[in-house]
Amino acid sequence: MKSRILRAIAAGLVVGTLLVAGTASLAMPGGRIAITIAGK
């Protein structure tokens, strides 16, 4: 059971890491956001 929980946590971390590494969705709270970089 303990190993199953650990594997599940590991799988969850893979999910989160894959999302951050692989997706590029813009996610922002309303309000503040941008800086302007010349040449971009």
Cα gap 37→21, rounded to integer Å? 23
Residue 30 token pair: 């309303």
5 scored as a contact of another protein (CB under 8 A): yes
Residue 21 token pair: 């590494």
Cα gap 7→32, rounded to integer Å? 39
Site for another protein in 11-30 (CB under 8 A): 11-30
Closest distance of CB 31 from another protein, Å = 9
With contacts defined by CB under 8 A, how many residues of the chain interact with another protein?
A: 35
2 scored as a contact of another protein (CB under 8 A): no
Site residues (vs another protein, CB under 8 A): 4-5, 7-30, 32-40
